[in-house]
Structure formats: structure tokens, C-alpha cells
Amino acid sequence: MMNALVLQSDFGLEDGAVSAMKGVAHNVSKVIPIFDNTHDIPPFDIWAGSYRLLQTVSYWPKGTVFVSVVDPGVGTNRKSVVVKTKGEQYIVTPDNGTLTHIYEKVGIEAIREIDENVNRLPHSGASHTFHGRDIYAYTGARVAAGVIPFEKVGPELNVSGVIRLPFCEAELIDDAIHGTIDILDVRYGNLWTNISRELFLKLGVSYGNPVEVNILNDSRVIYSNVMTFGKSFAAIHVGEPLVYVNSLDNMAIAINQGSFARAYNIGTGSSWRISIRKR
Amino acid sequence: MMNALVLQSDFGLEDGAVSAMKGVAHNVSKVIPIFDNTHDIPPFDIWAGSYRLLQTVSYWPKGTVFVSVVDPGVGTNRKSVVVKTKGEQYIVTPDNGTLTHIYEKVGIEAIREIDENVNRLPHSGASHTFHGRDIYAYTGARVAAGVIPFEKVGPELNVSGVIRLPFCEAELIDDAIHGTIDILDVRYGNLWTNISRELFLKLGVSYGNPVEVNILNDSRVIYSNVMTFGKSFAAIHVGEPLVYVNSLDNMAIAINQGSFARAYNIGTGSSWRISIRKR
Amino acid sequence: MMNALVLQSDFGLEDGAVSAMKGVAHNVSKVIPIFDNTHDIPPFDIWAGSYRLLQTVSYWPKGTVFVSVVDPGVGTNRKSVVVKTKGEQYIVTPDNGTLTHIYEKVGIEAIREIDENVNRLPHSGASHTFHGRDIYAYTGARVAAGVIPFEKVGPELNVSGVIRLPFCEAELIDDAIHGTIDILDVRYGNLWTNISRELFLKLGVSYGNPVEVNILNDSRVIYSNVMTFGKSFAAIHVGEPLVYVNSLDNMAIAINQGSFARAYNIGTGSSWRISIRKR
């Protein structure tokens, strides 16, 4: 049985790097289907790589093998690993924080360190900067094609030792929910928070109700205003802001057909805090 | 028999949205080939989405299923539809004007509204903002794979009721052809007009002849000059402008190895009018 | 036996051009796998197209057919050709310099001019500006699918007549190696030189040693400093420069997690000269 191989990286598509990875994979097996998650992860942004995995894995079949290469530490002693998730999928990646969201939200069944003696593209020994091609794509394709089983990738590691970036859950304190802005819906400039729909609904808010939204960068107030909780953009006029449930079932903030992030110059990460309360 | 699924959207490739669509489609059928038309439609630009379909569908085989998601009205009562074209292909899209060029230039054989009770990704009920993944990719893959026939997509609608954007045909008046600038050949900055080669040839112009080109934005003259009608860029020097027949068999304006659009700050749409006369 | 078809161009992915090429190929054969090398070659940059082929071909299987369309001379009498490389792969391209690196570094076994009477998409006669779709993708797919053998593409040409751009090899003179900056690792801003690892090692430098790097644009000194020869980025601190062996086994210059090219405003081509000496 052939499984899909889904690649992501921070390489961009401007040069031949992604093509070389696909060539290596296609050389391993001419019949595994090869797809892209995204290759426009901002350079070295491990958090974004971790998030994009969480955003997508559940839509792919069991058995799918994901290869993620955001690897600022290539050449250090950071480990190269394959994990089997609780969703019965595989992820091949440097163990550098890329597995944070999968660890927290999907769960990891088992993790193995890649033994580079058996899992490295033959004759690729001289370059020490492109493990994405020489190790990750090669190993991912071999697992997807069933050339080697997960169990033969290399020695098993302790799941609790997976490297994780700081990961905060949103909280309901008194009558407000406090969370962070995890990432942008890049193209549209919408803010995606770490506040789940489930937690949000504890505010007792219904579609069409106004809510008060405060956004802080560290302690500085960047935005403070009232907006509608809408089922979709259809609930409001073009140019109006709204709070809505995004495609990952978390709360998001947008300006209908505008860019909220650009309008208020808003970034992402743990210093970007958001609170929402019923009005 | 498996048909190709060809996806286009205004989602960009920076995040996981397109990957999620492909995962849903691959989950429906592991053997349908999945391709991209483009995902760089400018956000909410229904006209461009409509044009990009016209630009490409005829090069794909009969039976191909296109999914187009430029959907500023997601969550409104705009309909989700599947059309069968007179070219024996299928297009899955919100009925919001995306079918304008196909309606006018290819023809629509039949149109059916998607019944979301049977054609929605299971367990995707909570999000109301990503029909591209939950409805369009899912339905497109099911039609491409033959899981459901077109006839079972949902109730038939009246073809004449398809939503169309204003669509002007170019005209020959006296000794000049008057048209509009439909779209840019983005990367090169060439102007693609709605003037067909057939209509243009009524001017009695041959390769190598000079023509006078006037470009107006509303009533303001933006460009007025004489250039050559060339068979290809080889007909003129680098840096010179020319009129040529583009890859859709319409008339286009370019600067050889330069950007006409950037040079004269030219946009697209019905307010951008162009006239060409024999000199 | 089906071979992969790998496409590259300077078309970008913003419009439908690449999709039209893939549709034509898929129409020729529904079972050949179709991949992208890159479509973000800078417009008309034949050198970059040539380089991106060299960067990737060796990672794809024997029998793979590459189509490269960087074609500023479309419509001139530049030839359309298919070459068989010494690596037993095929490249379909305008013969305009795109084959420079393949000629110099891989070797060309045989070259044939495409006979457009038999190798042109039926009914595509009116457009003279999109040979990428009408001739190259069509012919490439037919060769990949085995519809026509290489020998039937058209008349054989003399390999020594392949059009080549000026191509300089790096040299060791006295105690310094002199080369050029061939191309950028675009996303990261690293400089990729034409100095091979093998030549560089003649300086007698080991990992961790300092080397002196001089970069000139024509005769103007742009950069002159000492940096470390590192095995990978792990050898130095974030923000430090280093010399390393890139993924093509050539010497490259980078700032760890920064952009060397942007930091010093560095370009590529034969006027951008670099010398490295042991310190």
C-alpha cells in the first residue's frame, strides 16, 4: 500500500531545492503520490512550521507521511526524527520544536531517531547543509513507500523528550478570555488566536452579539474596540471587523475584505495577547 | 475512469489552506490526479478567477473537474454549484460571477446546486468560513472519482440564472476597434484585451504594419502612440512596444522584455478602455 | 514505461500559463507524473534557468524529461530542441543558452531539433507567443509517455553547436582562488560561487580555519573580510558570516540566519567576482 508524501519547508519555490527533494522521493518510489503542504514558512520560523502541520494533518488519510524542514540548526546535534502520531500518520523532521502543536493537540504515539547510516541518500556525504533532501525527503519517501517500516528508522526515543516551544493555552478569567495571537491567515490578514470555540462559548455569546476585543503587544494596548461575533463574513458589512470561528475551530478576528493585521500592524507570538469579553 | 481535479483559489500558498483541500480530495480518492490552476488570484477578485478558468479549461481533457474558490460571500445565501460545460468538463464553485467567462465563451450545459446535506465533508459542521475545503474540494473530488454522478449533486437550476459579471464585447466602430483591458499577463506586465484576433483583422492590418493605440482610464487618456503589429516579440527591438496575438487568440500589448503595465501604470477592468486603429 | 515530466519556466504561478502546460501534458498521457522544478526563474534570465537545471537533474531518475521555458526569443529563429544528456535524461527547451550548465557539467549525448510539423499541439497555430504550451510541454509529454521516441523528435544537430552563455571556471592562482558568484540561494540570501569544494581544498584549509574573502563588482571592492570555513551553520553564532560547502558541492558564503546578499547588496553574474585565500 502506497501512502502520500506531503512536504513542507521554509525553502520557497524560487530555486530548485523543493524539486531536488521531490526527485529524491520519486527516485525512491515512482508510485507514491507527492504533495506540498507549503514551502513559504517564513525562514527559520519553527513555530509557523509546527502550526501548519496542525492546520492540515487531520485532512490527510491515515498513513500519510509528512516531511517538515525548517531547520536553522542543520549541522548541530539536533536530532533527526520520525514520529508516529496518535492519528496514525508519520512526520519526518528535525526535532527542534516543529512537533510542538502535534504533541499538544494530536499526540505522539512513538518517536524514533533517524539512523543516518542506513537512511541517507547514497553519495550525498559531502554537503552538510541540505538534510531536507539527503535525509528527510529520502527517509520520508522510504517510509511512505513501505521500503522501510517505521520500526527500522532508528532507535526509539522517549516521547516526553520531544522538543517543544513554549505553548500557552487560553484561559477564562472572570468574565474575559485571555489568549494569544498564534498566527496570521497570511493572505487575508486575519488574526488566528489560540482561543477555542468551546472556550469562547463559555462567555455565553450568540451569533450577532457584540464582544469587546483588546489586543496588547506585551503591555501596550494596540487595539480596543467592540465588534460582532458573526457566523461568517456575511454577517457584517464590507470593512467591518468581526470575531468568528476559523477553519481550525478557533476564534479569529478579521476585517471583512480588509486586512486586520495590516490595519493595526499586528504580529504573532506569545507577546501578542488578546482578550475577549461579552459586551 | 478517473478524471483530474484542478484547483484554483485566492488562498495563496503561504499557509495550509490549499494542502487541506488536497488532503480532503485525496481522502475521497487516492487515485485521482490533483493539479493546481493558480492560487494567486488576487483576494476576492472574482473577475480574475473567471478569466483564469477560461484561459485554461480547453487545455485539459474532457471530464476534468475544476474547483474554483474565490468566495467573498462565504456564509451568505450565494449558491454553491456544479456546472457541466459545453466542453464536457465540470466546474465546482460559488455561483458569484466566477462562471462569467465560461458562460459567455464556452457555454454551460447544465447547472446543479450542491446539496450540502450529502456533499459536505463529514464532521466539518462548526466552521462556516472554509467551504473551499469542506464543500468544494470534497464535492469536486467525489465527482472526479465517480463517487457521485453530476446528476446526484443536488437540484438542477436554470442555466440562464447563472450569476454573471458585466461582460462587454469589443466592437468595430468606423475604422477603430474599441475594447477593454481584461487582465494582465502578470509576470511580464503585458495587457490582455477583449479584442479577438478575428475582429482585429477586420482593420486590414498585416504583420509589420503600424497601428495607433489609445488607452483610457474612464475618460482620461493614459497612452496614445503608434506601435507595430508583430507576429511575436522577435518582430521588434528590446524595449519597443507591440501589438500581438496572445495565447488565448486575443490582442495584447507589450513592451519587449519590459512591463507595459508598470511603465504606464495601467490597470484592468471595464474602466480601462483601449482602441486600436490602422495607421 | 512512464517517465516523469518536470517543468520549469519564468512564467510564475500567478496566472494560468503553467496550468495550461500541464493540461496539454495530461491530455497527452493521463499517467505520466508531472512535477515542477521552479516557475520563479526571473523573467528572461536564461542563466538562472540553466543553473536550476544543473541544480536538480541528478536527483531525478534516468529517463526523466525536463521542460524548460525561459524564452525571450520566442518567435525568432532560435531553435526548439530536445537533448539527451549523458545522465540519460531528456531536456526540451529553446536552444538559447539554457543548456549551458548541462553542456559543461553533465554532458550532452545527442541533440535534435523539434520538427514542429509533427510536434505541435493540434489547432494551436494562431498564437506565436506560447511555445511553452504548444510545443515544449506537448513534445516533452510525448517523449515522457513514449508516444514518440527521442529519435523521432526531428533532425539531429551537432552537439558542439549547442548555444552556451559565457561560462568561467574558477582558478587557483598563487595562494588564492578566484571565481564568480553564480547565483543566490534566493530565500536565504546566501551566495553560491562557481568554486568547487575540490578546488577550494587545495588551499589547505580545514573546518574551523579562517579564510579571507574578497568580493568585487567589476573592479570595485564590495566586501573584504575574514570569516570561518564551517561544516555547517552550527559552526558559528547567529549573525556571523561563514564559508561552507553548499548542496551542489560548491563553496558558498552566508550569514547565519541573515542575508549576506542583502547585507552587502550583492548580485550575480560574471561581473561579480570573489576570491578566497587562507589566512
Q: What is the pTM of this model?
A: 0.94
Q: Look at residue B246 and give its three-state secondary structure.
A: coil
One domain, residues B192 and B82: no
In a domain, A256, yes or no: yes
Task: Give chain C's residues under pLDDT 50.
Answer: none
- Rounded CA-CA distance C200/C87 in Å is 26
Q: Is the alpha carbon torsion for C29, C30, C31, C32 positive or negative? A: positive
> Given an 8 Å threshold on Cβ–Cβ distance, is A247 in contact with B26?
no
Please state the rounded mean pLDDT for residues B116-130.
Answer: 81
CB nearest to B38's CB, from C19, C21, C27:
C19
Which pLDDT score, from 0 to 100, does residue B39 have? 97
Which pLDDT score, from 0 to 100, does residue B243 have? 95
- Rounded CA-CA distance A72/C190 in Å is 14
Q: Look at residue A212 and give its three-state secondary structure.
A: strand
pLDDT band with cut points at 50, 70 and 90 for residue B125: low
Locate the DSSP E strands across chain A.
Answer: 5-9, 34-36, 65-69, 80-85, 90-94, 108-113, 156-157, 171-173, 176-185, 190-196, 210-217, 220-229, 241-245, 250-255, 269-278
Best probe of the C interface among A5, A7, A11, A15, by most C CBs < 10 A, is A15
Residue type, A113: E
> Given an 8 Å threshold on Cβ–Cβ distance, is B4 in contact with C26?
yes
- Rounded CA-CA distance B53/C127 in Å is 19
- Rounded CA-CA distance B176/B173 in Å is 6
pLDDT of A252 > 70? The answer is yes
DSSP structural state of residue C249: S
> Given an 8 Å threshold on Cβ–Cβ distance, is C232 in contact with A44?
no
Are the beta carbons of A97 and A47 closer than 8 angstroms?
Answer: yes
Q: What distance in Å separates residue A154's CA from the closest CA in chain B?
A: 28
> Given an 8 Å threshold on Cβ–Cβ distance, is A35 in contact with B30?
no
Q: Which of C138, C161, C184 is the last residue of a domain?
A: C161
Residues of A with CB under 8 A from a CB of C: 10-24, 26-27, 30, 34, 43-44, 72-77, 126-130, 133
Nearest to A153 by CA among A72, A77, A67, A59: A67
One domain, residues C201 and C107: no
Question: Which residues in chain A have Cβ-Cβ distances shorter than 8 Å to C33?
Answer: 26, 30
Q: What distance in Å separates residue B3's CA from the closest CA in chain C?
A: 9
pLDDT band with cut points at 50, 70 and 90 for residue A187: confident
Q: And the C-alpha cell for A208?
A: 450577532
Instruction: Name subunits touching A (3+ CB pairs < 8 A).
Output: B, C
One domain, residues B211 and B148: no
Nearest to C80 by CA among C64, C67, C62: C67
Which pLDDT score, from 0 to 100, does residue B83 have? 98
Nearest to A275 by CA among A184, A188, A203, A204: A203
Best probe of the C interface among A5, A13, A18, A19, by most C CBs < 10 A, is A19
One domain, residues C83 and C107: yes
For residue A199, which phi and psi values (nearest 5 degrees)? Answer: -65, -40
Burial of C265 by CB count in 10 Å (0-12 exposed, 13-18 middle, 19+ buried)?
exposed
Q: Which of A161, A182, A209 is the last residue of a domain?
A: A161
Contacts of B74 (CB under 8 A, 6+ apart): A232, A233, A234, B94, B128, B129, B130, B131
Q: What distance in Å separates residue C73's CA from the closest CA in chain A?
A: 23
Contacts of C198 (CB under 8 A, 6+ apart): none
Please state the rounded mean pLDDT for residues B17-32.
Answer: 96
Q: What share of chain C is helix, strand, coil (3-state, %, to 5)?
A: 25, 35, 45
- Rounded CA-CA distance A57/A68 in Å is 12
> Given an 8 Å threshold on Cβ–Cβ distance, is B232 in contact with C11?
no
One domain, residues C157 and C195: no
Contacts of A96 (CB under 8 A, 6+ apart): A46, A70, A71, A72, A73, A78, A163
Query: pLDDT per residue over A24-57, tens digit each?
Result: 999 999 999 999 999 999 999 999 999 999 999 9
Residues of B with CB under 8 A from a CB of A: 10-24, 26-27, 30, 34, 43-44, 72-77, 126-130, 133
Range of the domain at B189: 171-278
One domain, residues A29 and A148: yes
Helix (H) or strand (E) holding B94: strand B90-94
Question: Which residues in chain B have Cβ-Cβ distances shorter than 8 Å to C130?
Answer: 246-247
pLDDT of A125 > 70? The answer is no
CB nearest to B247's CB, from C12, C72, C130:
C130
pLDDT band with cut points at 50, 70 and 90 for residue B269: confident
Q: How many CA atoms lie within 13 A of B234 on its CB side?
A: 12
Q: What distance in Å separates residue B179's CA from the closest CA in chain A?
A: 29
- For chain B, the residue count is 279
Strands B156-157 and B108-113: antiparallel
DSSP structural state of residue B239: T
> Given an 8 Å threshold on Cβ–Cβ distance, is B246 in contact with C129?
yes
CB nearest to A197's CB, from B18, B26, B126:
B126
pLDDT band with cut points at 50, 70 and 90 for residue B76: confident
Q: Please state, as a whole number, how many other Cβ atoms lie within 10 Å of the Cβ of residue A162.
A: 19
Query: pLDDT per residue over A129-168, tens digit each?
Result: 789 999 999 999 999 999 999 999 999 999 999 999 988 8
> Given an 8 Å threshold on Cβ–Cβ distance, is C232 in contact with A24?
no
Best probe of the A interface among C51, C59, C198, C259, by most A CBs < 10 A, is C59
Give the CATH number of the domain where residue B253 resides: 2.40.30.90
Q: And the C-alpha cell for A17?
A: 531545492
Q: What is the mean pLDDT of chain B?
A: 93
One domain, residues B194 and B80: no
- Rounded CA-CA distance A201/A241 in Å is 19
Please state the rounded mean pLDDT for residues A204-228.
Answer: 94
pLDDT of A64 > 90? The answer is yes
pLDDT of A1 > 70? The answer is no
In a domain, A216, yes or no: yes
One domain, residues A10 and A108: yes
Burial of C279 by CB count in 10 Å (0-12 exposed, 13-18 middle, 19+ buried)?
middle
One domain, residues A43 and A17: yes
Residues of C with CB under 8 A from a CB of B: 10-24, 26-27, 30, 34, 43-44, 72-77, 126-130, 133
Strands C176-185 and C190-196: antiparallel
Which pLDDT score, from 0 to 100, does residue C125 have? 64
Question: Which residues in chain B have Cβ-Cβ distances shorter than 8 Å to C45?
Answer: none
In a domain, C166, yes or no: no
Residue of C nearest to A41 (CA): C187
One domain, residues B146 and B45: yes
Number of structural domains, chain B? 2
In a domain, B42, yes or no: yes
Q: How far is CA A235 from the centre of its chain?
A: 29
- Rounded CA-CA distance A12/A8 in Å is 10
> Given an 8 Å threshold on Cβ–Cβ distance, is C129 in contact with B247?
yes
Are the beta carbons of B279 and B209 closer than 8 angstroms?
Answer: yes
Query: pLDDT per residue over A49-63, tens digit each?
Result: 999 999 999 999 999
Are the beta carbons of C243 and C228 closer than 8 angstroms?
Answer: yes
> Given an 8 Å threshold on Cβ–Cβ distance, is C127 in contact with B249?
yes
Nearest to B15 by CA among A104, A19, A53, C16: A53
Nearest to A66 by CA among A160, A144, A161: A144
Rg (CA), chain A: 21
Nearest to C91 by CA among C102, C83, C101: C83
Q: What distance in Å separates residue B244's CA from the closest CA in chain C?
A: 9
Q: In what order do the strands lie in the sheet with A65-69?
A: A34-36, A5-9, A65-69, A90-94, A80-85, A108-113, A156-157
Nearest to C81 by CA among C52, C53, C111, C61: C111
One domain, residues B51 and B130: yes
Are the beta carbons of A7 and A21 closer than 8 angstroms?
Answer: yes
Burial string for C133-152 (b: 16+ CB within 10 Å, else e) reads bbbbbbbbbbbbbeeeeeee
Which pLDDT score, from 0 to 100, does residue B124 have? 76
In a domain, A166, yes or no: no
Best probe of the A interface among C36, C56, C248, by most A CBs < 10 A, is C56
For residue C159, which phi and psi values (nearest 5 degrees)? Answer: -55, -35
CB nearest to B20's CB, from A59, A235, A257:
A59
One domain, residues B95 and B150: yes
Which pLDDT score, from 0 to 100, does residue B122 have? 86
Residue type, C158: N
pLDDT band with cut points at 50, 70 and 90 for residue B1: low
> Given an 8 Å threshold on Cβ–Cβ distance, is C13 in contact with B36?
yes
In a domain, C181, yes or no: yes
Best probe of the C interface among B52, B184, B232, B244, by most C CBs < 10 A, is B232
> Given an 8 Å threshold on Cβ–Cβ distance, is C133 in contact with B187?
no
pLDDT band with cut points at 50, 70 and 90 for residue B48: very high
Q: Which of C161, C195, C216 is the last residue of a domain?
A: C161
Question: Which residues in chain A have Cβ-Cβ distances shorter than 8 Å to C39?
Answer: 13
Strands A5-9 and A34-36: parallel
> Given an 8 Å threshold on Cβ–Cβ distance, is B56 in contact with C23?
yes
Residue type, C54: L
In a domain, C239, yes or no: yes
Distances in Å between the alpha carbon of B269 and those of B213, B222, C52, C61, C89? 17, 15, 37, 46, 45
Are the beta carbons of B194 and B168 closer than 8 angstroms?
Answer: yes
Which pLDDT score, from 0 to 100, does residue C237 have? 87
Residue of C nearest to B40 (CA): C14
- Rounded CA-CA distance B274/B251 in Å is 11
Give the CATH number of the domain where residue C115 resides: 3.40.50.10790
In a domain, B166, yes or no: no
Contacts of B201 (CB under 8 A, 6+ apart): none
Q: How many inter-chain contacts (A to B, CB under 8 Å) are there? A: 106
Which pLDDT score, from 0 to 100, does residue A230 have? 92
Q: What is the mean pLDDT of chain A?
A: 93
Question: Which residues in chain B have Cβ-Cβ distances shorter than 8 Å to A231?
Answer: 75, 128
